[in-house]
Amino acid sequence: MPEAFDRRTLLRWAAALGGAALPAAAAAAPATPVSAVAAESAVVDAGARRVLARVREPRFAPRSFPVTAFGAVADGTTDNTAAIRRAIAACQAAGGGHVVVPAGTFATGPIHLRSGVDLHLARGSRLRFATDPTAYLPPVYSRWQGIELMNFSPLIYADGQHDVGITGEGVLDGQADATHWWDWKRAGDAEFALLEAQANAGVPVARRVFAPGFHFRPPFIQPYRCRNVLIAGVTVQNSPFWHLHPVLCQGVTVRGVSVESAGPNTDGCDPESCDGVVIDDCAFATGDDCIALKAGRDSDGRRVDTPCQNVLIQRGRFARGIGGVAIGSEMTGGVRAVYARDLNLAGPDLASGCFIKTNEERGGVVANVHLARVSAGTIAGPMLLVDFAYGGVTSGTYLPTVSDIHLAGWTVGSCAPAWRMTGQPNDPIGTVALTGIAVARMAGANVARDVRALQLTDVTIAGRPVR
């Protein structure tokens, strides 16, 4: 229902638009009536402009280095790891450019990118990655479920580089399945307590060596401590673990990427402790969260103490996963300034729309999160799920703060229920604002337990207003 701006709304909108001063007349009197959804949509669009202004895509020199010129063979079985490595070294030595994978199927082990290099997959190309864990040794500096360690190399990795890219129309296939990598899940889960214990004891990362002999599955693509990263156009499938996992990066663009997997913990895109991230026009059908924003875990997250912030998610399509847009559970360093718009939650194999998960061992702050203009068919679980006892943890000394969460302009065919929010009596969820939400069908009852301020504006379920 249209409503006039009050002074508070006007000031908030002006702040979102960059702090521009309001005309005296506007500050003193209500403006022309405008819907609350339009006001929140303007906040999201202004936030999106700020993120886009701070993220610079890398530019690559107009030089091409076909991997076939360095000995690569497209027969699907020859190990081309060394040939691709030679092409990358030559490209960087020349001042940067494009390492081109032409049409055909190329087998390879890990690929380590360097500054100024774009790994470009031509249409019809496929990189098929080895499933032998020994191919991913020696171990490299990495992060696993929010804790730093020395682990098996990610399938594609870059550490401390700038202006790196993975682009094109080809396929990156990790070849993980029930008998390669994914069958490590149970063993890795059992071994995780040792990694946590070392982190809690302050063991230096260089001495936290968990490969070989351990079972922490590597992520597919992990730029670490990099600047200006571009991942565009490619299809990424069947990762051992999380698919796209930029960590401690500044300026990350993920555009037009498709992620496909049904394996355990095969998240789609998990920016962790990054500043300036754009995830644009991507499609996700995953075995876990489609997008999950992260910022380190527990004591190690407090040691690194770096937030994930200034994130834009737009024009995404979410077909299968645990959460469409998730935050956590590794969020100790904090997650803030998140803007999502024009999303399509295709369901029904999507367990939740927006999922914020944390507990009293995490600490950290999640704030200033906005998701607007979202179309959803069937969501198997809640449209909005906030869980302060994630993993069954109901006590601890580091209470998280979650507040200033805004969902606006959502149209949902069905969900079960519309929201399920459970804070803790000693640590309630802060402000959650739902504006212009229309749910056609809902199963179960909405839950808002230990929520300090739930603000409902123009919310309807089965055509009936909810207040």
Would the pLDDT of 34 be above 70?
no
Residues in the chain: 467
229-237 mean pLDDT: 98
Domain coordinates in residue numbering, the chain: 1-34, 64-466
Would the pLDDT of 219 be above 60?
yes
Q: How far apart are CA 3 and CA 271, in angstroms?
A: 37
22-49 mean pLDDT: 70
Which pLDDT band, with edges at 50, 70 and 90, does 5 fall under? very low
CB 419 within 8 A of CB 382: yes
Would the pLDDT of 20 be above 90?
no
User: For the residues of 86-154, what is the DSSP string, one character each?
Assistant: HHHHHHHHTT-EEEEE-SEEEEE--EE--TTEEEEE-TTEEEEE---GGGG-S-EEEEETTEEEEESPP
Q: What is the largest CA-CA distance in the chain?
A: 73
The 10s digit of each residue's pLDDT in 60-109 is 999 999 999 999 999 999 999 999 999 999 999 999 999 999 999 999 99
Helices (H), 226-383: 298-304
Amino acid at 307: P
Residue 194 or 21, more confident: 194
273-280 mean pLDDT: 98
Token couple for 31 = 């403006």
What was the pLDDT predicted at 299? Answer: 98
Q: At what angle do helices 36-54 and 7-16 cross, to 10 degrees?
A: 20
What was the pLDDT predicted at 268? Answer: 98
What was the pLDDT predicted at 118? Answer: 99
267-290 mean pLDDT: 98
SS (H, E, C) 310-379: EEEEECCEEEEECCCEEEECCCCCCEEEEEEEEEEEEEEEECCCEEEECCCCCCCEEEEEEEEEEEEEEC
The 10s digit of each residue's pLDDT in 427-447 is 999 999 999 999 999 999 999
CA–CA distances in Å: residue 439 to residues 177, 375, 444, 462, 464: 37, 10, 13, 6, 9
Would the pLDDT of 22 be above 80?
no
What was the pLDDT predicted at 25? Answer: 32
What was the pLDDT predicted at 7? Answer: 34
Give the whole-number percent of the chain exceeding pLDDT 70: 93
For domain 64-466, which CATH number applies: 3.40.50.1820, 2.60.40.10, 3.40.50.1370, 2.160.20.10? 2.160.20.10
CB 122 within 8 A of CB 169: yes
Ordered strands of the 111-112 beta sheet: 111-112, 156-159, 221-224
Token couple for 258 = 């498709």
The per-residue pLDDT of the chain, averaged, comes to 93
Would the pLDDT of 1 be above 80?
no
Helix (H, G, I), strand (E, B) or coil at 288: coil
The 10s digit of each residue's pLDDT in 388-423 is 999 999 999 999 999 999 999 999 999 999 999 999
Q: Which H or E element spans position 353?
A: none
138-167 mean pLDDT: 98
Q: How far apart are CA 229 and CA 160, in angstroms?
A: 11
Q: Lowest mean pLDDT: which of 20-34, 190-204, 272-286, 360-374?
A: 20-34
What was the pLDDT predicted at 17? Answer: 35
Question: What are the residues facing 437 on neighbouring strands?
Answer: 410, 459
The 10s digit of each residue's pLDDT in 292-342 is 999 999 999 999 999 999 999 999 999 999 999 999 999 999 999 999 999
Which pLDDT band, with edges at 50, 70 and 90, does 467 fall under? confident
Would the pLDDT of 348 be above 90?
no
Q: How far apart are CA 104 and CA 106, in angstroms?
A: 6
Which pLDDT band, with edges at 50, 70 and 90, does 347 fall under? confident
Name, in order, each residue with C-beta under 8 angstroms of 320's C-beta and a sequence gap of 6 or more.
262, 284, 285, 286, 287, 290, 349, 350
Q: How far apart are CA 277 and CA 250, in angstroms?
A: 8
Would the pLDDT of 12 be above 80?
no
Amino acid at 135: A
What was the pLDDT predicted at 90? Answer: 98
Q: Which H or E element spans position 451?
A: strand 451-461
270-289 mean pLDDT: 98
Would the pLDDT of 19 be above 70?
no
Tally of CB atoms within 10 A around 460: 14
Q: How far apart are CA 86 and CA 236, in angstroms?
A: 23
**No. of H helices and E strands in the chain?**
6, 33
Which pLDDT band, with edges at 50, 70 and 90, does 24 fall under? very low
Amino acid at 98: H
The 10s digit of each residue's pLDDT in 164-207 is 999 999 999 999 999 999 999 999 999 999 999 999 999 999 99
Per DSSP bridges, beta strands 235-237 and 171-173 are parallel
